[in-house]
A and B are shown apart, each in its own frame.
Chain A
Amino acid sequence: MCLGIPGEVIEILEDRPDLAKVAVSGVKRTINIGLLDDDPPVPGDWILIHVGFALSKIDEGEAQAALDFLESIGKAYEDELAALQESRIE
């Protein structure tokens, strides 16, 4: 739950600018980007996601480092990813 998962913004939803399609570990999911209103991400940007919301923008190097770290901790990350796969935010 407290894990920040990095994802790459693919597109911002036209009718809902607070939502974005984001690629996370090979899965495409809808993520809320409303908390980044002060500096909204654009496609190609990397974000750190907590329970369906982007909490910060990060650079690609940080995203890779964060992914390596998450993969190293094993089960807790797998559980979080499994939960994310079930997620269908609107």
Chain B
Amino acid sequence: MRFVDEFRDAEKARALSAKITSLCEPGRGYKLMEVCGGHTHTIYKHGLEDYLPESITLVHGPGCPVCVIPMGRVDDAIHIARQPNVLMTSFGDMMRVPGSGGNFFDSNAEGTNIRMVYSPLDSLKIARQNPDLRVVFMAIGFETTTPSTAMTLLRAAHEGIENFSIFGNHVTIIPAIKAILDSPDLRLDGFIGPGHVSTVIGCRPYEFIARDYGKPVVVAGFEPLDILQSIYMLMVQLSENRSEVENQYSRVVPWDGNMVALKAINEVMELRPYFEWRGLGFISHSAMAVREKYAKFDAERIFEIPGVRVADPKACQCGEVLKGVLKPWECKVFGTACTPETPIGTCMVSPEGACAAYYNFGRFSRQRVREASQHEHVGS
């Protein structure tokens, strides 16, 4: 059954591929950015670039929350974890992100207690059960995970669990897209919009991209056909000289987003004046901080934060990869000094990072496509 389904998908993929190709103007190149790391993962895993004409280039965007955390913030987290009675909690993805003196595992080897949790609510539970410990949740992620942190903080306040706090590193996707649009390094023709982030923020926040920058945006689902369908929708808009926001993933993403989630975020957090993104530098109003009203639950107010800015290792070109200027394999250390086992940069740490996705799947999927085409050849 599975084989039949896959075959049917391959047929559909080829049909979409032919329609996409027919919309390409001869002699024109198209650069489309997929903003979300989940999309990057699908593209490499399923070798989607092999379904596209050479004139279309997929550019990988900054939508990998682990990848954009600067080294200085990892150091700050480790500094908090070193304070008396602190138990730091974090998503698993964060554990291997390098700071200037090593990652969370290295830090634990030197005596800190940094534990992996699945949910901020697991962190809250640890705080509830261990009133003598100061439990800090290292909160990271785009708008997909921000509501979970906000709801957990509201729960902590409701129950009065005052030995719980969050170290806030939530970032917002819109200012990062704007920074890329304003960057002189890269000219893009359209955007494949993030799926899960849009479940929360809806589609309206992208309207400025279509209106002010004249670039089409299609919010997309995560399956291979979703992405090909979205590329087709972008190409239809480009061929008709239109720039609008369209929602390919309407079966999950409501146009107006999730109002309960937006309200919860707004209740406990506010925009920071600026925040440093790895590779992209400081971006105005691009991250969230805990509001003063909830200061008791804000690790940045409870602990002294060194806040020392640390430059990325010279050899690492994650910044260029995050901006879409370089493809992963164009980085000098890709696959040699920098691998998922010994990552130098964040793009190689997270499975949603462009480098890890390419390293894990890129060559494999290309090989598979070659084998499939040889097989077809023999069969025909």
Contact = CB atoms under 8 A, between A and B. Distances in A.
A1 B258 contact: no
Given A51-B145, A69-B223, A89 B125 contact: yes
Interface stretch (B19-27, B176-184, B259-267, B305-313): B259-267
B254 to A, nearest CB: 8
Contacts of B36: 2
B92 A50 contact: no
Interface string B247-278: 00001111000111100100000000000000
B209 to A, nearest CB: 21
Nearest to A29: B118
B97 to A, nearest CB: 12
B200 A55 contact: yes
Interface in B142-158: 142, 144-145, 147-148, 151
User: Which residue, of B5, B128, B140, B148, has the highest number of chain A Cβ atoms within 10 A?
Assistant: B148
Nearest to A62: B251
Nearest to A69: B223
Given A2-B196, A53-B147, A62 B252 contact: yes
Contacts of A34: 151, 260
Contacts of A86: 117-118, 122
Given A2-B196, A79-B92, A35 B121 contact: no
B261 A35 contact: yes
A84 B91 CA distance: 11
Interface in B95-121: 116-121
Contacts of B119: 32, 51-53, 87, 89
A51 B206 CA distance: 25
A32 B121 contact: yes
Contacts of B125: 88-90
Contact of A52 (B128, B148, B251, B252): B148
Given A32-B151, A37-B260, A50 B145 contact: yes
Interface residues of B, number: 47
B258 A2 contact: no
B96 to A, nearest CB: 12
B222 interface: yes
Contacts of B259: 38
A48 B252 contact: yes
B38 interface: yes
Contacts of A59: 251
B45 to A, nearest CB: 6
A76 B117 CA distance: 15
B145 A2 contact: yes
A4 to B, nearest CB: 5
A53 B258 contact: no
B118 A55 contact: no
Interface in B199-224: 199-200, 222-223
B352 interface: yes
B345 interface: no
B166 to A, nearest CB: 13
Contacts of B122: 52, 86-89
B148 A56 contact: no
A84 B116 CA distance: 11
B93 interface: yes
A35 B264 contact: yes
Interface string B133-145: 0000000111011
B92 A51 contact: no
A61 B349 CA distance: 32
B174 to A, nearest CB: 17
A9 B186 CA distance: 45
Given A2-B36, A51-B119, A86-B118, 15 more contacts: A2-B38, A2-B144, A2-B352, A32-B119, A35-B260, A50-B148, A50-B196, A52-B148, A55-B144, A55-B147, A69-B223, A72-B46, A75-B360, A76-B351, A90-B125
Interface of B: 5, 36-38, 41-42, 45-46, 65-66, 91-93, 116-122, 125, 128, 140-142, 144-145, 147-148, 151, 196, 199-200, 222-223, 251-254, 258-261, 264, 351-352, 360
The 3 A-B pairs with the shortest beta carbon distances in the complex, nearest first, are A52-B119, A76-B351, A87-B118
